[in-house]
Structure 1
């Protein structure tokens, strides 16, 4: 695995401080317009992401399970929700609070029960999300059976195609090669792959994050991803991003950065690139989100409307409009990009690691060891650039 012991220890401490998700939030769903039709995202609580519970990704908080899953109650609620969905969908996502194909989170018997309640769903595409290291033949058989007549998509949280970023900035604990292997398995099973790519990696400038996100999208498309979903990171409670933000080491990217990334791609490529979670879908009462991407009060509502339209239509003209949008905050963002370093600044990364180590009283020997590994791997990857 691609393990960073300092980040893992710190994110584990943060995880322990989170409150357990209340029983009343066992299930949820939302319906929106996307890809020219209706999208339904049906969510349910499990024991939670296993990686998260061991010290997980710096940006994620999908909810902390209690360790006890009242599956009969959850299944009953899911069944009632499905019975209230008379529409035909373009996309239907079934998403647990972790990985659908990790049997430690969603067991075989749970998946069989889910097949039973999903038979009546009418959708063009059926989508589940799972980590690259959980993709198995048995798990893919469940996806085939769940909604038989739909196209099947496996959505994988790749985040970046750069193993250095995955290990030292995201704490993903997987490698890009695992994604490449998963693509082969999924395609051999006659299904499609969606790669989730992040925007707003910590421990680097916004400009460097943009450049690396563009590279990652190009890489996953070249390596067989059938579609891409681009996620600009929010700052959520109970995450390392929140700690970094509270200590002046992180802020959400601008909507202008999102438009900039999309502007690098041709119309053909854009037809495969969707955006999601550029806004808070759940509202203050249900959300863990502290801060979201944005622009300024003068233009944010109009820009958000344009992004909503792009999500529904994937019309490339919208991206052209956004990249030329006349607002003073856009001009300020361009000036900021001109000033920023487009390369990863290893000195900045080390400095922020040391600040985090002070906050969490990280063992000095462990810190120096991990910083040494980080620098060595950085030089091996970037030394000639």
Structure 2
């Protein structure tokens, strides 16, 4: 992990400063969805939190952080308890902490070995973990494969955007996209599948830019080792930059029509390898999400039902039906996505940075001056450059 944007990291630490720690009384969370293979089951287990989150973290993310120094046995037992109460037998089993399964600082080796032992008892056709790309070392990948020598394995990496500029100045990812490509190649050498998680609704981007970035990122991921892409329309969560921007009128809720448009542009030739996730909230506690992606009250139930159908089948005919769906909110979205922003992305980012520094009292003027030079002189950005890079 490398802090490529000290100003945005300082902002994120300020945003998170009042966040309460998660309680050990809720050591795991599970969700179940029907997918083409059968039942997809995801188990999240409590840790002290994502290592990158502790340094500021990504602008959209908040999976929370538990008490410091959670014991390895606690993590192992959380996964064991979750597996014991699953309502269905999983065809695909995903086990993940808040940040990265292969991050020794978040999930110590002893905890990971115990969790792997619990996963090994599952009859799932596919076992998955999620981690940051820079934690996928040769040693960790060897351990993962050696533990399950005859099982189908995969890793999900949070790519978010394949634009280094957007990753640095909008997501604050703390990792270059090229690291994804290196991790994917290392995983493939061990016959481990690779999934790339891609955001829709990244901070500071217009609706059109967000769709273009997600589509370009998906194509880049396919060209650089990703066998599957998972599109994530972003929720607005507490203690995130998205929440701060939304309350200031600088960030609208993500429209599910943007998700539909991304799927439409990626086409029928890719639908078998483009999944969707978290297009709705699965939490029973409403406080977990401030706002979720939406359309309008009139069509939302129908749109979500069709999204569920696509999640279960990955049938492009569902996307064609959604793309042709008639609703006033769909027309409003079309007008928004066709509109030209009144200023360039770097100009909008800088204005937002200046607002955040004043609004939050970050007191990071030196870092802001430095990032201003990078935005306009050292690391200029245009979508023409990004699209050319996508073809490389």
What is the TM-score when the length of structure 2 is the normalising length? 0.93
Structure 1 residues not aligned, in runs of 5+: none
**Equivalences for 1:81-120 in 2 at 5 Å?**
81-85=82-86, 87-120=88-121
Matched residue count: 384
CA deviation string 1:40-72 (max 9, x = no partner): 111111111000000100001111222120443
Aligned to 1:233: 234
Pairwise CA distance, 1:22: 1.1
- The residue that corresponds to 1:218 in the other structure is 219
Instruction: Return the alpha-carbon distance in structure 2 between the equivalents of residues 303 and 377 of structure 1.
Output: 43
Structure 1 residues 1-385: aligned runs within 5 Å? 1=2, 3-85=4-86, 87-285=88-286, 287-341=287-341, 344-361=344-361, 362-379=363-380
Decide whether aligned partners of structure 1 residues 295 and 137 sit closer, same or farther in structure 2, where only a CA change above 3 A counts: same
Contact 1:21 1:65 in 2 (8 A): yes
Deviation at 1:119, TM superposition (A): 2.4
* CA shift digits 1:2-60 (9 cap, x unpaired): 61111100101222211000111211212221234101111111111000000100001
Tell me how far apart the structure 2 counterparts of residues 101 and 48 of structure 1 sit (CA, whole Å).
13
State the Cα distance separating 1:268 from its structure 2 match: 2.4
Name 2:390's counterpart in structure 1: none
Structure 1 residues 53 and 384 mapped into 2: Cα distance closer, same or farther (>3 Å)? Answer: closer
Paired residue secondary structure (2:301) = helix
Q: Which runs of 5+ in 2 are unaligned?
A: 387-392
Give the secondary structure class of the aligned counterpart of 1:51.
Answer: helix
1:121 touches 1:147 (CA, 8 Å); kept in 2? no
CA 1:89/1:16 → structure 2, altered by over 3 Å: closer, same or farther?
A: same
In structure 1, what is the Cα distance between the partners aligned to 2:179 and 2:79?
32
CA RMSD, Structure 1 to Structure 2 (Å):
2.0
Contact kept, 8 Å, 2:229 with 2:273, in 1: the verdict is yes
**Superposed displacement of residue 307, structure 1:** 0.3
Residue number in structure 1 paired with 2:389? none
Are the equivalent residues in 1 in contact too, given 2:60–2:203 (CA < 8 A)? no
Kindly indicate whether the alpha-carbon contact (under 8 Å) linking 1:128 and 1:155 is maintained by their aligned counterparts in 2: yes
1:241-262 deviations in whole A, cap 9, x for unaligned?
A: 1111111111222111110011
For residue 149 of structure 1, report the CA deviation from its aligned partner. Answer: 4.0
Answer whether contact 1:208 1:344 (CA < 8 A) is retained: no
The 8 Å contact of residues 253 and 293 in structure 1, kept in 2 or not, is answered as: yes
Contact 2:346–2:381 (CA under 8 A) maintained in structure 1: no
